[in-house]
Structure 1
Amino acid sequence: MPETEAPAPWEYTLYIPHDPRAVTVCRRTLRLILTMHGLIRLADTAELLATELVANAVLHTKGPAALRVRWSAGVLRIGAWDADPAPPDPPAPVESLAEAERGRGLALVRACADLWGWQPLAREGNRGKYVWCDLVAA
């Protein structure tokens, strides 16, 4: 029986302006990317995660942002870069989400992703942070 080849790694970055409408553009672009790569089964959860990450980048910072999507070795990494180097607020406990009016985004990311985190970035004089999460394809 012939061995099946693992899908080749790929990566996309979508730079977005500081505009709340960019969240919808990112969500729709992500679904298109996943559909093109045969990963539609991940699209609903990936859209939720990307929406939360990009919304945080747009709503809680003042500069541009970017959505980064990467597939490698069976893992989909979704991340949002923004120009604010301050760390994200820690996620609220899942139990408190029903009553919360704000602060649910990273709690949803923590609950739905296999892994998540953030890192400060400094490159070519630009500062900011990258908040990411992973979905493992089953």
Structure 2
Amino acid sequence: MPESEPWEYSLHIPNDVRAVTVSRRTLRLILTVHGLITLVDVAELLAAELVANAVRHTKGPAALRVRWSPPGTLRIGAWDADPSPPQPPQTLAAVLEAEDGRGLALVRACADVWGWQPLARDGSRGKFVWCEVGAA
């Protein structure tokens, strides 16, 4: 049974492709411990896409943030140091024709809602790309 109290975790990651695997496994553990095993598969996919974009398209560090808000919303987000907005494919044809860039299309398809916001913290600029899934 999912917890009725809110919680949040952050995982700071280096710019390294191995961070995607570390993020997925960490997220799986967090969700399992909190009784949200039914969300693990979709959450892992979403987190992997967000972190992969952060690592692949930027040169600096990144972070994964996971937040649970009762009664049933899981927010997954990735911060990176590049303030440029994400560029998801706009049509199915664009997704099918693209050689890369399908990650945000998967996020749009699998999440209930997604978005991004520019961030400035401690003199650093960047963005936070997030999505939410509900525990039905």
| Matched residue count | 135
Where structure 1 has 5 or more consecutive residues not aligned to the other structure, the ranges are none
- Inter-partner Cα distance in structure 1 for 2:39 and 2:77: 15
* TM-score normalised by length of structure 1: 0.92
Q: Does the C-alpha gap of structure 1 residues 92 and 105 become closer, same or farther in structure 2, counting only changes over 3 Å?
A: farther
Q: 1:62 maps to what in 2?
A: 59
Where structure 2 has 5 or more consecutive residues not aligned to the other structure, the ranges are none
Structure having the higher Rg: 1
Q: 2:27 maps to what in 1?
A: 30
Is 1:16 aligned with 2:26?
A: no
TM-superposed CA distance for 1:75, in Å, is 0.3
3-state SS, counterpart of residue 7 of structure 1: coil
What fraction of aligned residue pairs are identical, expressed as a percent?
75
Query: Contact 2:89/2:95 (CA < 8 Å) preserved in 1?
Result: no
Is 1:131 aligned with 2:129?
A: yes
* TM-score normalised by length of structure 2: 0.93
What one-letter code is carried by the residue in structure 2 that aligns with 1:66? Answer: A
- Inter-partner Cα distance in structure 2 for 1:91 and 1:97: 6
Correspondence 1:102-117 to 2 at 5 A: 102-117=100-115
Is 1:47 aligned with 2:48?
A: no
TM-superposed CA distance for 1:94, in Å, is 3.0
What one-letter code is carried by the residue in structure 1 that aligns with 2:30? Answer: I
Q: 2:91 maps to what in 1?
A: 93
What one-letter code is carried by the residue in structure 1 that aligns with 2:38? Answer: R
- Inter-partner Cα distance in structure 2 for 1:95 and 1:71: 34
TM-superposed CA distance for 1:124, in Å, is 1.6
